[in-house]
Chains A and B, each alone.
Chain A
Amino acid sequence: GEKVEQHESTLSVREGDSAVINCTYTDTASSYFPWYKQEAGKSLHFVIDIRSNVDRKQSQRLIVLLDKKAKRFSLHITATQPEDSAIYFCAASRSSGSWQLIFGSGTQLTVMP
């Protein structure tokens, strides 16, 4: 079946550095790729998304890149801050038209002061 692989299970960066989280997907027809943030003990909160008709999207310090040929997308967090520390999940839409998302396994990002 369709899968989304999130390559980094943990990631540590120094405050002010950039963090990059990479995901790959298997469903060629996936067209929607959201990212969610989960702070310790809390629920998932949407942070940014990208659609397959573009290859780059930026929202403040967050940049998402999409490479459809490689079936890869990535989240770049620039000028990281301690409050960026959380688990980040990538997801990809299923092509079946049922409006389902397939989630990666999550990346624990730690931003060290």
Chain B
Amino acid sequence: EAAVTQSPRNKVAVTGGKVTLSCNQTNNHNNMYWYRQDTGHGLRLIHYSYGAGSTEKGDIPDGYKASRPSQENFSLILELATPSQTSVYFCASGEPGTGQDTQYFGPGTRLLVL
């Protein structure tokens, strides 16, 4: 079973502050993804990565940066947090093209921006 972990699990931040959400996977998957989940919207893709050193913009990248320093780690950075970024954030990893195209999700980080 794929293992994806996230930290912190819960975070309270102030408007204008910097927030870093971390994700680690031990599956040696090349692809990693950051999503946010809001009621009525399902999951929306923020950033993704094909491997160490690569980051790509997803559907809603504004206000977010991403960093993939290694195969295992993928971070989501909110340089100037705003209340509209209050959400639940999920990291996922996957190895498409191998017959196992599914994505494996972490437990999520609940972020509240005051």
- In this complex, how many residues of chain A approach chain B with their Cβ under 8 Å: the count is 22
- Interface residue B67 (Cβ < 8 Å from any Cβ of A): no
Given A43-B90, A44-B90, verify A101-B42 contact (CB < 8 Å): no
Given A6-B42, A103-B42, A106-B42, verify A49-B101 contact (CB < 8 Å): yes
Where chain B touches its partner, the secondary structure class is: strand
Where chain A touches its partner, the secondary structure class is: strand
Q: Of the candidates B33, B43, B101, B108, which one forms a contact with A89 in the assembled complex, judged by CB atoms under 8 Å apart?
A: B43
**Chain A residues engaging chain B, CB cutoff 8 angstroms:** 1, 4, 6, 32, 34, 36, 42-46, 49, 89, 93, 98-101, 103-106
Interface contacts (Cβ under 8 Å), in number, total 48
Compute how far the CA of A1 lies from the CA of B44 in the bound complex, rounded to whole angstroms: 13
Find out whether the CB atom of B105 lies under 8 angstroms from the CB atom of A45: yes
Find out whether the CB atom of B108 lies under 8 angstroms from the CB atom of A93: no
